[in-house]
Structure 1
Amino acid sequence: MKVLVAVKRVIDANVKAQVKSDGSGIELASVKMSMNPFDEIAVEEAVRLKEKGAATEIIAVSCGDAKCQETLRTAMAIGADRGILVETTEELQPLAVAKLLKALVDKEQPALVILGKQAIDDDANQTGQMLAALADLPQATFASKVEVAGDRVNVTREVDGGLETISLSLPAVITTDLRLNEPRYVTLPNIMKAKKKQLDTFKPEDLGVDVKSRLKTLKVSEPPKRGAGIKVPDVATLVDKLKNEAKVF
């Protein structure tokens, strides 16, 4: 079974994002970049499926500029067999990424596509669902457990009421949640091995995909700073303020 995993290069999760002075976006110059944490979980799950004998090949895919090769090398150091970079300097939006991935699904014919449920830079949570719709594939979002059984995959997903387990026929699309697994530590020997693994590069036009932006960002601003709290002398005063000032009950 061939597994395709999509990975995105984003600002490192431990770095506080700074808004540009003109409000046009997030400052990326001289900022540490890493693989999107949810995508790292997706790669780890694909590697675990291969270790169990359910998968035979893992292909990591990234869309963006040439620096995304670093993210793909990280995915290959975790355990992906090869990488594909769709190189473009355009600002990619979820629909454009979904179209690029759909073109690669048609080309590679994977039995399973795994993506992080969302990227921590835009929190769109759209690409996986759009890909499933474009490719006309069954989907399971927010997966917390994945089990391949023959020509089907059983996915336990997190919903508001608890957990829901569904069974999908392969091929299928899965998006990962935080509790699916804990990604392994990438060792130096595996980093060195990843440098020798195959990495193919395509342009969007090679895949016949138009990645023109359809949304326009009007303004990016930081959230308002929280005001200072107050101390109350007793419970009665607290209840009075909650009732008459905050009006929470």
Structure 2
Amino acid sequence: MSLRIVVTVKYVPDATGDRHFADDLTVDRDGVDGLLSELDEYAVEQALRIAEAADAAEVTVLTIGPEDAKDALRKALSMGADKAVHVEDEELHGTDAIGTSLVLAKAIEKAGYDLVISGMASTDGAMGVVPALLAERLGVPQATLLSEVSVEDGTVKGRRDGDAASERLQARLPAVVSVTDQSGEARYPSFKGIMAAKKKPVESWDLADLEIDTEEVGLGGASTTVEAAAERPARAAGTIVRDEGEGGKQLAEFLASQKFI
């Protein structure tokens, strides 16, 4: 029987772009270019490695987002994933992490799965809670923040590295795992992979397909609320120390005043 791996990925604003909040205090995604979240590339990579080591496996990438989010799916498909699912619905605008986990869980159940792999966090929200919420909604074990992961005899195994020690974890499938940016460099899509991705299937589902009430998602259904947002203050000019024989002393005094020494 083929191992069914679902990788959750996110289309996020480019961190190098000029990012802003919209009037409703959601991220303004129209004013900046987007891309596949870098941390999700590690999840795709680990899914592909597990699939390559298995006798038979299929990797599905899943995302929620507007039309442009298909770009994230195409990147994952060009890396080597087999097919993709795009959940798109205007009512999803403003959905928080809890609502996102509901939509993802419904889509994962509809797609069919043995193993769900996520990145450690998204590079825009950076909450890192969705994998745990997914495991709870799906009713399966979770093994999060893994820097090493493999599947053997119906069991997912991994290593979680902490500040003081490393843990070995394992769980029977089906299960949810998340991987860190220490799990292994993500491969670059080859020209062959980019061309092949154009022919791979991408299914599009909306809330009705997943039997989700619109009141459970969007800004109205969100359990968390952004009360206010302000632009980061401009960086202040630095202090220039001109060395005219007293440079070392001035530098030491400055570091001491800032409590660095």
| Pairwise TM-score range, normalised by the shorter structure | 0.7 to 0.9
Over 3 Å counting, the alpha-carbon distance change for 1:106 and 1:19 in structure 2 is: closer
Deviations 1:156-198 (A, max 9, x none): 1122323211111111111110011111111222112111111
Over 3 Å counting, the alpha-carbon distance change for 1:176 and 1:237 in structure 2 is: closer
Residue 144 of structure 1, aligned match among 136, 147, 155: 147
- For residues 53 and 117 of structure 1, the distance between their equivalents in structure 2, rounded to whole angstroms, comes to 24
After TM superposition, the structure 1 = structure 2 runs for residues 169-184 of structure 1, keeping only pairs within 5 Å, are 169-184=172-187
- Asked if 1:129 is matched to 2:132, the reply is yes
- Asked if 1:9 is matched to 2:18, the reply is no
After TM superposition, the structure 1 = structure 2 runs for residues 43-58 of structure 1, keeping only pairs within 5 Å, are 43-53=44-54, 56-58=57-59
- For residues 212 and 25 of structure 1, the distance between their equivalents in structure 2, rounded to whole angstroms, comes to 11
Give the superposition deviation at 1:55. Answer: 5.3
Residue matched to 1:211: 217
**C-alpha contact 1:143 1:180 (8 A) present in aligned 2:** yes
Secondary structure of the residue that 1:57 maps to in structure 2?
A: strand
- For residues 105 and 47 of structure 1, the distance between their equivalents in structure 2, rounded to whole angstroms, comes to 18
Structure 1 unpaired stretches of 5+ = none
Give the superposition deviation at 1:72. Answer: 1.1
- Asked if 1:117 is matched to 2:114, the reply is no
Over 3 Å counting, the alpha-carbon distance change for 1:54 and 1:92 in structure 2 is: farther
Residue matched to 1:200: 203
* TM-score under structure 2 length normalisation: 0.84
- Asked if 1:74 is matched to 2:75, the reply is yes
- For residues 175 and 132 of structure 2, the distance between their equivalents in structure 1, rounded to whole angstroms, comes to 11
Secondary structure of the residue that 2:42 maps to in structure 1?
A: helix
Give the superposition deviation at 1:201. Answer: 0.9
Deviations 1:9-36 (A, max 9, x none): 01224x2343358693544335221100
Deviations 1:103-138 (A, max 9, x none): 123223311100111111111111111101111211
Secondary structure of the residue that 1:180 maps to in structure 2?
A: coil
Stretch of structure 1 that moved more, 85-94 or 224-233: 224-233
Cα RMSD (Å): 2.5
- For residues 207 and 240 of structure 1, the distance between their equivalents in structure 2, rounded to whole angstroms, comes to 60
**Aligned length in residues:** 246
Over 3 Å counting, the alpha-carbon distance change for 1:24 and 1:109 in structure 2 is: closer
Give the superposition deviation at 1:229. Answer: 4.2
Stretch of structure 1 that moved more, 224-233 or 189-198: 224-233
Residue identity opposite 1:163 in structure 2: S
**C-alpha contact 1:64 1:92 (8 A) present in aligned 2:** no
Secondary structure of the residue that 1:67 maps to in structure 2?
A: helix
> Percent same amino acid at aligned positions?
28
Stretch of structure 1 that moved more, 77-86 or 50-59: 50-59
Residue identity opposite 1:216 in structure 2: T
Give the superposition deviation at 1:206. Answer: 1.7
Structure 2 unpaired stretches of 5+ = none
Residue identity opposite 1:8 in structure 2: K
Residue matched to 1:42: 43
Over 3 Å counting, the alpha-carbon distance change for 1:25 and 1:64 in structure 2 is: closer
Residue matched to 1:93: 96
Secondary structure of the residue that 2:147 maps to in structure 1?
A: strand
**C-alpha contact 1:204 1:211 (8 A) present in aligned 2:** no
Stretch of structure 1 that moved more, 1-10 or 220-229: 220-229
- Asked if 1:223 is matched to 2:232, the reply is yes
* TM-score under structure 1 length normalisation: 0.87
Residue matched to 2:161: 158
